[in-house]
């Protein structure tokens, strides 16, 4: 990486901006000229982006004379989108009211706003381990000290939290969780743990960031109420949502649901970032919701993602069954694969990445999903963006890369 020239008067906080290996994989993959099956980014399947519907909405709402759709909008969100979203959420676990709703530029901005308003340098922030490191990196950008809490099949192991906090010697200011179809493990936090986590947040007076971009993408099992619903309007629960996974990530439209008293601080914080979310994109989402496309779209997406998950698991069974195990999520985008250290000679997935890329397959190595760089022997695979046929090919390439790295004694070329 090129360092900024010495003598540039950079702010100390620039040091705390560690970047995202996940996001950087997009440009890395763009630079490759050979065929790559990418399991790296958490993107919806290209086929499930509703381009035809969006094109129709664009033609009717963003065409000639629609200057208003290209103007600034209110910082809290374009009124028609706010109205359509409130109607869409009515009767769901995320039902809310206008005074709690702020439209954001994707889920990432929701996280940035939350950490910006609640984290001072040196504050303790609880994160899951593994976690979505774009979220933990955002906390670090505001000077947070992170406390990693293990995740198992039932989500964050909340039972361990009191002991870990006691050992840290101070209570957390913020708890950051991805409770449903967690990124990267795919795990869903059980109802009892959700209650327990809420109780702990109240006990410590900690903000609970409920980051749930995948909850509507359940293709198996029973719904679990969101922390938003279980919190019953508790000001300590701040919920971050996004249209990225359920419509398209390039829209960069999401929302935050927070106590009404937080709306003004959220607006002020957002005004120092971007004034408002992208207006044409807000209008596209509005049309999509108003015309009733979301529910049928979610149904077909869920069906397809279940098919893709099963196909990837079958391919893993066939090609990696003797050297790895993996999770079995009931929704969302990801499988978390753990290599058997003995069978693979302690192979590190970060080392594997380059060999795998040369072999034509990409994934996110485990250490990129833990602020402390744990999970050397694990990797995240996104099953959602790849067809079953390509997925099989990708897993086969992954096995070839593993075998070739083992044959070379665990070092890449
Ligand atoms: C857990 C989690 N939170 C937030 C985001 C960010 O969402 P957006 O792309 O809308 O900024 C993602 C995207 O991968 C995610 O997985």
Element (H, E) at 156: strand 155-156
The residue whose two tokens read 């409130």 is: 86
Using a 6 Å cutoff on CB, does residue 42 contact ligand 1?
Answer: yes
CA 111 to ligand 1 centroid distance, Å: 9
In this predicted structure, the answer to whether residue 3 has a pLDDT above a threshold of 50 is yes
Residue 108 Cβ contacting ligand 1 at under 6 Å: yes
Q: How far apart are CA 252 and CA 273, in angstroms?
A: 14
Give which of 187, 181, 183 is closest to 216, Cα–Cα.
181
Beta bridge partners, 334, equal: 382
Confidence of residue 332 (pLDDT cuts 50, 70, 90): very high
Q: Is the CB of 366 under 6 A from ligand 1?
A: no
Mutate to test the pocket of ligand 1, among 23, 40, 134 (most ligand atoms within 8 A of CB): 134
CB of 133 closer than 6 A to ligand 1? no
Q: Residue 214 in contact with residue 245, Cβ under 8 Å? A: yes
Give, to the nearest 10 degrees, the angle between helix 161-168 and helix 191-204.
Answer: 30
Structure tokens that stand for 346 in this block:
């302690």
Average pLDDT over residues 192-200: 98
The Å distance, Cα 241 to ligand 1 centre, comes to 8
Q: Are 42 and 382 in contact (CB under 8 A)?
A: yes
Is ligand 1 within 6 A of the CB of residue 215? no
Distance from residue 108's CA to the centre of ligand 1 (Å): 6
Ranges 8-12, 169-173, 398-402: which has the least confidence:
8-12
Ligand 1 centre to CA of 87 (Å) is: 23
For residue 412, the model assigns a pLDDT of: 47
Bridge partner list, 125: 146, 174
Distance 135 CA to ligand 1 centre (A): 8
* Residue ID of nearest Cα to ligand 1 atom 4: 107
211 lines ligand 1 (CB under 6 A): yes
Provide mean pLDDT across the span 5-9. Answer: 85
Of ligand 1's atoms, which has the minimum distance to the CA of residue 109? 11
258 pLDDT more than 50: yes
Q: Is the CB of 130 under 6 A from ligand 1?
A: no
pLDDT, tens digit, 9 for 90 and up, residues 360-386: 999 999 999 999 999 999 999 999 999
Cα–Cα distance for residue pair 297/27, rounded to 1 Å:
29
Q: What is the pLDDT of residue 222?
A: 96
- pTM as predicted: 0.95
- Considering the chain, what percentage of its residues have pLDDT values greater than 90? 89
Regarding the beta carbon of 44 and ligand 1, being less than 6 Å apart is answered no
Q: What is the pLDDT of residue 1?
A: 62
pLDDT band at 12 (very low <50, low <70, confident <90, very high): confident
Secondary structure (H, E, C), 70-129: HCCCCCCCCHHHHHHHHHHHCCCCCCCCHHHEEEECHHHHHHHHHHHHHCCCCCEEEEEE
Residue 32: predicted pLDDT: 79
143-166: per-residue pLDDT in tens?
999 999 999 999 999 999 999 999
Candidate from 24, 26, 107 with most ligand 1 atoms within 8 A of CB, to mutate: 107
pLDDT band at 31 (very low <50, low <70, confident <90, very high): confident
Ligand 1 atom closest to residue 42's alpha carbon, by position in its atom list: 14
Tell me, using a 6 A CB cutoff, whether residue 132 lines ligand 1: yes
CA of 41 from ligand 1 middle (Å) equals 11
Question: HSE-up of 87 (CA within 13 Å, CB side)?
Answer: 15
Give me ligand 1 centre to Cα 166, in Å: 30
Q: Is 106 in the pocket of ligand 1 (CB under 6 A)?
A: yes
Q: What is the mean pLDDT of residues 212-234?
A: 97
Q: Is the pLDDT of residue 60 over 70?
A: yes
Split at pLDDT 50, 70, 90, the class of 21 is confident
pLDDT in tens, 112-133: 999 999 999 999 999 999 999 9
Give residue 112 CA to ligand 1 midpoint distance, Å. 11
Q: What is the mean pLDDT of residues 259-268?
A: 98
- What would the pLDDT profile of 171-190 be if each residue is shown by its tens digit? 999 999 999 999 999 999 99
Check pocket membership of 184 for ligand 1, CB cut-off 6 A. Answer: no
**C-alpha distances in angstroms, 86 versus 95, 158, 302, 340?**
7, 32, 23, 47
**Within the chain, what is the greatest distance between any pair of CA atoms?**
66
**68 Cβ contact list (under 8 Å, min separation 6):** none
Check residue 403 and give its pLDDT.
96
Tell the burial category of 103 from Cβ atoms under 10 Å away from its Cβ (0-12, 13-18, 19+).
buried
CA 127 to ligand 1 center in whole angstroms: 15
Percent of the chain scoring above 70 in pLDDT: 99
Compute CA distances 120 → 51, 114, 179, 367, whole Å: 42, 12, 24, 26
Question: In whole angstroms, how large is the CA radius of gyration of the chain?
Answer: 21
Please tell me the predicted confidence (pLDDT) of residue 219.
98
- Which atom of ligand 1 is the closest one to the Cα of 110? 11
pLDDT at 410: 67
DSSP H stretches of helix in 273-377: 279-290, 294-320, 349-359
The helix (H) or strand (E) run that includes residue 240 is strand 237-242
Q: Whole-number mean pLDDT of the chain?
A: 95
110 lines ligand 1 (CB under 6 A): no
């Amino acid at each position: 990486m090129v360092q900024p020239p010495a003598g540039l008067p950079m702010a100390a906080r620039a040091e705390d901006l560690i970047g995202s290996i996940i996001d950087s994989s997009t440009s890395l993959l763009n630079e490759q000229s050979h065929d790559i099956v990418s399991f790296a980014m958490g993107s919806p399947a290209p086929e499930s982006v509703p381009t035809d519907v969006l094109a129709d909405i664009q033609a009717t709402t963003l065409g000639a004379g629609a200057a208003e759709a290209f103007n600034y909008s209110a910082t809290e969100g374009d009124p028609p989108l706010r109205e359509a979203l409130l109607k869409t959420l009515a009767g769901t676990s995320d039902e809310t009211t206008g005074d709690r709703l702020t439209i954001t530029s994707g889920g990432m901005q929701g996280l940035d706003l939350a950490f910006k308003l609640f984290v001072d340098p040196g504050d303790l922030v609880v994160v899951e381990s593994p976690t979505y490191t774009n979220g933990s990196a955002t906390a670090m950008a505001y000077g947070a000290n992170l406390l990693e809490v293990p995740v198992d099949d039932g989500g964050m192991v909340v039972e361990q939290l009191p002991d870990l906090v006691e050992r840290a010697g101070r209570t957390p200011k913020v708890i950051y969780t991805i409770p449903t179809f967690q990124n990267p493990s795919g795990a869903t936090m059980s109802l009892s743990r959700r209650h327990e986590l809420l109780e702990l947040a109240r006990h410590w007076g900690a903000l609970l960031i409920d980051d749930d971009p995948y909850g509507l993408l359940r293709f198996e099992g029973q719904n679990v109420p969101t922390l938003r619903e279980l919190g019953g309007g508790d000001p300590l629960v701040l919920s971050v949502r996004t249209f990225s996974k359920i419509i398209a990530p390039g829209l960069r439209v999401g929302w935050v649901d927070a106590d009404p008293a937080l709306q003004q601080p959220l607006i002020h914080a957002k005004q120092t970032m971007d004034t408002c979310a992208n207006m044409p994109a807000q209008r596209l989402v509005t049309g999509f919701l108003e015309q009733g496309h979301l529910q049928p779209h979610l149904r077909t997406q869920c069906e397809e993602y279940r098919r893709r998950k099963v196909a990837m698991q079958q391919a893993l069974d066939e090609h990696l069954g003797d050297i790895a195990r993996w999770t079995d999520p009931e929704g969302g985008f990801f499988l978390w694969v753990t290599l058997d250290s003995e069978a693979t000679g302690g192979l590190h997935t970060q080392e594997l990445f380059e060999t795998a890329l040369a072999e034509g397959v990409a994934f996110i190595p485990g250490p990129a999903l833990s602020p402390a760089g744990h999970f050397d022997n694990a990797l995240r695979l996104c099953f959602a963006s790849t067809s079953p046929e390509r997925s099989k090919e990708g897993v086969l390439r992954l096995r070839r890369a593993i075998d070739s790295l083992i044959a070379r004694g665990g070092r890449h070329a």
